[in-house]
């Protein structure tokens, strides 16, 4: 299990970790945004200025083979060996791609994640999933590999805009749904338009604990770790569907690539609906959650004509077995039902609810 440190002094903690992990070369991976906004916070840590700085494009559209090849190339040109160390400073795209780069370079070197977005703090940087998008599918290529350390300092949250706060918050909503009513009720009452950063920092700690507990039980996602996929079977389909509209001249629906957390939030609407009709999830809590999501995240402009493509995208989900779409559903808050199935008709009905409910 990875070592997660929640701190108010990331520089001090990073200094200590760099002394603990012996290394011959140090690499620092950022995207253009985090290099500008977040690197200055750690630039005076001993050894950071001498590290090989690798800067990649921001946003999930760069989480691909071309970018990973660039990172491998710069690690090789920078004299990287099996005894080198990588620091990933950034959001989920950086920690996913950087973790994969470190896990495969020279058959694997240790890496440190310093998440700078809410999404990466509560989800991407913790748990050991690494990877890139491929062939139009989210996280299609990757490995399970735990970081040596994850350093979480919530001061970085002050660099985020509303959309990126919301994106990470969707994963926190998911963690609340799979834990307990007290945690979930606190999440539904939080004001995303007027962020109380001290309160948010406390909730981040709780959210990370939920994920750590589940990952510790099932590191390789053979069983209960599938709880963390609530909202993701449909969410990943929405995300891949929206990604195809990037730079597309004909786009009458006005669709554009969306942040991961927005797709997950919309996926939660769909999968809570399925939970109501298939596993007895309380309708009143579903309605309350749907309202919170619609107020905070808006919606995605899908039509009936898009259903076949969305269904096809769901068939590529990594949880599936023998072509059967598997969902993680709930019988109630904290009542997790993994490996649930639905007919094509039920899935289309679910998409009807998403559009009209």
**Per-residue confidence (pLDDT) for residue 244, from 0 to 100:** 85
Could you report the average pLDDT of every consecutive run of 10 residues in the chain (357 residues)? 84 96 97 96 95 94 95 98 98 96 98 96 91 89 95 93 96 97 96 94 94 90 92 95 79 84 97 98 97 96 96 87 89 96 96 93
Distance of CA 236 to CAs 83, 215, 252, Å? 36, 20, 22
**Domain assignments of the chain as residue spans, ordered by start:** 3-160, 163-356
Q: Look at residue 59 in the predicted model and tell me its pLDDT.
A: 83
pLDDT reported for residue 2: 59
Strands in the chain per DSSP E? 3-6, 26-31, 52-56, 85-90, 111-115, 132-134, 137-141, 149-152, 327-332, 335-340
Please state the CATH superfamily assignment of the domain spanning residues 163-356 in this structure. Dehydroquinate synthase-like - alpha domain (1.20.1090.10)
pTM of the model: 0.90
Rounded Cα gap, residues 203 and 61, in angstroms: 29
- Rounded to whole angstroms, the Cα distance separating 60 from 244 reads 12
- How is 200-253 classified by DSSP, letter by letter? HHHHHHHHHHHHHHHHHH-TT-SSGGGGGGTTHHHHHHHHHHHHTTTT-S--TT
d(CA 312, CA 241): 10
Tokens of 351: 């998409």
CA pair distance 126, 132, nearest whole angstrom? 16
Any idea which fold 3-160 has? Rossmann fold (3.40.50)
């Amino acid at each position: 299990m990875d070592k997660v440190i929640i701190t108010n002094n990331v520089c001090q903690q990073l200094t200590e970790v760099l002394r603990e992990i012996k290394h011959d070369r140090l690499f620092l991976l950022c995207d253009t945004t985090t290099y500008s906004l977040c690197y200055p916070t750690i630039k005076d840590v001993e050894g950071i200025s001498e590290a090989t700085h690798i800067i990649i494009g921001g946003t999930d559209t760069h989480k691909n083979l071309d970018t990973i090849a660039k990172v491998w190339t710069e690690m090789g040109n920078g004299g990287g060996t099996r005894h080198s160390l990588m620091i990933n400073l950034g959001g989920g795209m950086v920690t996913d791609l950087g973790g994969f780069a470190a896990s495969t370079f020279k058959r694997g070197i240790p890496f440190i994640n310093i998440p700078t977005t809410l999404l990466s703090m509560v989800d991407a940087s913790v748990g050991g999933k690494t990877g890139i998008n491929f062939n139009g599918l989210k996280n299609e290529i990757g490995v399970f590999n735990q970081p040596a350390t994850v350093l979480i300092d919530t001061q970085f949250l002050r660099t985020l805009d509303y959309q990126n706060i919301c994106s990470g918050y969707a994963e926190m909503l998911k963690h609340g749904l799979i834990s307990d009513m007290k945690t979930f009720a606190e999440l539904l009452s939080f004001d995303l338009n007027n962020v109380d950063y001290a309160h948010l920092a406390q909730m981040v700690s709780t959210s990370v604990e939920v994920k750590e507990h589940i990952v510790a039980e099932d590191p390789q996602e053979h069983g209960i770790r599938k709880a963390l996929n609530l909202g993701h079977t449909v969410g990943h389909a929405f995300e891949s569907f929206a990604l195809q509209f990037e730079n597309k001249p004909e786009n009458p629906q006005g669709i554009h690539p969306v942040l991961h957390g927005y797709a997950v939030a919309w996926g939660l609407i769909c999968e809570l609906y399925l939970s109501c009709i298939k596993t007895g999830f309380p309708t009143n809590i579903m309605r309350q959650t749907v309202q919170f999501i619609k107020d905070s995240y808006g919606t995605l402009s899908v039509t009936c004509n898009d259903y076949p493509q969305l269904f096809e995208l769901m068939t590529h989900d990594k949880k599936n077995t023998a072509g059967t779409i598997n969902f993680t559903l709930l019988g109630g808050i904290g009542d997790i039902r993994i490996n649930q199935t639905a007919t094509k008709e039920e899935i289309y009905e679910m998409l009807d609810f998403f559009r009209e409910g």
